[in-house]
């Protein structure tokens, strides 16, 4: 197959996969359902640099389920590991890394806004 047709072939394969499964595949990122949410191994007493939304999945368009207030102590789950998600600019930096955690509600928060 010629290289210039590779993009068309990949796009067609994605459309067929969507039609068969009803879900959209994205290259390079895991679906929110497959991302770990293990809070049994957590880092506690972590502070938010700024007030941030706690979201249902690691992207800025996801539903906010709570707020982690500036300076408030909370928890970062998954032993403090950050995961790739949607790109954002928050707390003065650009990134696509997210933590699963929070203070009152647990969800996905931008890594650049959490400090320990």
pLDDT score, position 33: 60
pLDDT score, position 32: 58
pLDDT score, position 116: 81
Separation between Cα atoms, residue 60 and residue 106, nearest integer Å:
15
Separation between Cα atoms, residue 26 and residue 80, nearest integer Å:
25
- pLDDT tens digits, residue range 95-109? 999 999 999 999 999
Q: Compute CA distances 75 → 2, 61, 63, 84, 85, whole Å.
A: 50, 22, 20, 19, 19
Whether residue 101 contacts residue 42, with contact meaning beta carbons closer than 8 Å, is answered with yes
pLDDT score, position 79: 93
pLDDT score, position 35: 86
pLDDT score, position 15: 38
Low-confidence ranges of the chain (pLDDT < 70): 1-33
pLDDT score, position 18: 33
pLDDT score, position 4: 44
Separation between Cα atoms, residue 75 and residue 65, nearest integer Å:
16
- Coil, strand, or helix at residue 7? helix
Query: Cβ neighbours of residue 31 under 8 Å, at least 6 residues apart?
Result: 23
């Amino acid at each position: 197959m010629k290289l210039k047709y590779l993009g068309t072939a990949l796009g067609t394969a994605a459309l067929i996969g969507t039609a068969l499964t009803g879900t959209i595949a994205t290259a390079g990122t895991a679906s929110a359902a497959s991302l770990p949410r293990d809070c049994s191994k957590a880092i506690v007493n972590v502070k938010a640099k700024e007030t941030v939304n706690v979201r249902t999945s690691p992207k800025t368009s996801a539903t906010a389920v709570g707020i982690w207030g500036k300076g408030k102590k909370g928890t970062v789950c998954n032993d403090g590991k950050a995961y790739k998600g949607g790109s954002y600019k928050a707390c003065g930096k650009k990134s696509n890394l997210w933590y699963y955690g929070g203070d009152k509600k647990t969800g996905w928060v931008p890594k650049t806004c959490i400090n320990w």
